[in-house]
Amino acid sequence: MKYFVMPFLSNTFDSIGIDIGDRSIKAAYIKKHGKDFELLSFGSIEINPGIFDKGNILKPDQASSAIRQLVSSMGPKKIKTKYAHVCLPETQTFIKLLNIEAENEEEAKAKAREELPNHVPIDIQKSYVDSRIVEKIEASEEKMLCKVLSGACPQKISNDYADLISISGLIPVSLQIEAEAIVNALMPKELQQNSVPTAIIDIGAGRSSFILFDNNAIQFSVSMPLSSNEITVDIARTMQFTYEQAEKSKRICGFDPSRCEKQIIDILFKSVATLAENIIKNNNFYLEHFSGAKPIAAIILCGGGAYLPGLPRELGARLKNMSVKLGNPLINIAKKRKKIIKKLKTEPNSFDSNNENLDSYNIPKEFSQKHEMSYATAIGLALSNVL
């Protein structure tokens, strides 16, 4: 779903993807390469505190000079296009699949708009709402039952982001909800239909989010009370480390008592416990509030915080009947993409991103696999140029 800005033009232009976060902005540029897709350019820039706050743009001039700097420093291929797919701040947007009975698609979308405020905390009069029919079933001679994926964003936020892109010398082709960009990055479209009930968890620097994907659609997404930077701050405070020392300890500890002090492991365990509790709570919410819902069977982690060594194992140990693994944001830019995806349909473990090397992907040699998790959203947005 492309939000709020000329959606019908979205695939017409050569465009980049830009993931704007409170503390960093990341961008990617993907083009067709024969039958495959290729990551031609990427880049990221850190953002000082006080420029954004929970998705609100406090200092547009500084934000726009960061975007200009980022785009001009992207490489290895220089960016010539001015068009960009941009994501809206996750904390300010809402997405939900609604079951609507209607006579036709137009009516279903209109009813979804009326229904949405009952499900998400928004002022509908001051929000942009967009929706897409994911599935329709004949319910009777006149009526059909539609599954309508509906998203909403406060008008002010959407307008501010469009303005920010414009004053940065770019043209916003679409403003997207982050959950959709992440799903597009991690789950090739061809595999979405066969997927088991899956939770995608994006563990970011300042916040985390939970996306429930099932029956070929996002069912809902919510924020999670976990921030990877907070873990670092917690370690720094407890151990009286500098922030840099704490960050380093976090990255090497791996829940391993031979590698770090017990107090650090305790902090990591506390975070995993919070994560597991919230996953269970969201799973219960799904089972109770969505008709025909089945329990989550798979957890896919992404975002830089997913690199916490040992996290999939520790999380998996706390979640019965759920497999936990790292996502692969490069899956859509794998070499021989079609062939790999065809094989993945029957053998889901046939392409293990942890065992593949850089040569398996159409990526520049400068792109280290060590940070692809952080690029999941930017890659998902950049895929709008080719999917």
| Strand 323-326 with 298-302, pairing | parallel
- Of 138, 85, 89, 129, whose CA–CA distance to 109 is shortest? 129
| Strand 36-46 with 75-76, pairing | antiparallel
List the interface residues with ligand ATP, window 300-319 (CB under 6 A): 303-305, 307-308
CA-CA distance, 271 to 300, in Å (whole number)?
Answer: 17
Which stretch, 48-56, 60-68, 121-129, 200-208, contacts Mg ion (CB under 5 A)? Answer: 200-208
Counting contacts by CB under 6 A, is residue 275 touching ligand ATP?
no
Counting contacts by CB under 5 A, is residue 89 touching Mg ion?
no
Taking the least distance from each CB to ligand ATP, the nearer of 212 and 376 is 376
Alpha-carbon distances, residue 202 vs 142, 174, 371 (angstroms): 42, 21, 14
Question: What binding mask, one character per residue, do residues 220-259 give for ligand ATP by CB under 6 A, x or -?
Answer: --------xx--x--------------x--xx--------
CB–CB of 278/200 below 8 Å?
no
Length reported for the chain? 387
Q: Which does 180 bind (CB under 5 to 8 A by kind): ligand ATP, Mg ion, none?
A: none
CA-CA distance, 234 to 143, in Å (whole number)?
Answer: 55
Q: Taking every pair of C-alpha atoms in the chain, what is the biggest distance, in angstroms?
A: 70
- Of 26, 367, 2, whose CA–CA distance to 162 is shortest? 2
How many Å separate Cα 230 from the centre of its chain? 20
| Min separation Cβ 141 and ligand ATP, Å | 48
| Min separation Cβ 18 and Mg ion, Å | 12
Taking the least distance from each CB to ligand ATP, the nearer of 52 and 290 is 52
Taking the least distance from each CB to ligand ATP, the nearer of 235 and 340 is 235
Taking the least distance from each CB to ligand ATP, the nearer of 151 and 303 is 303
Residue holding tokens 């939900």?
96
Counting contacts by CB under 5 A, is residue 204 touching Mg ion?
yes
Q: Which does 304 bind (CB under 5 to 8 A by kind): Mg ion, ligand ATP, none?
A: ligand ATP
Residues that bind Mg ion in the complex, under the rule CB under 5 A: 21, 204
Residues that bind ligand ATP in the complex, under the rule CB under 6 A: 21-24, 204-207, 228-229, 232, 247, 250-251, 303-305, 307-308, 374
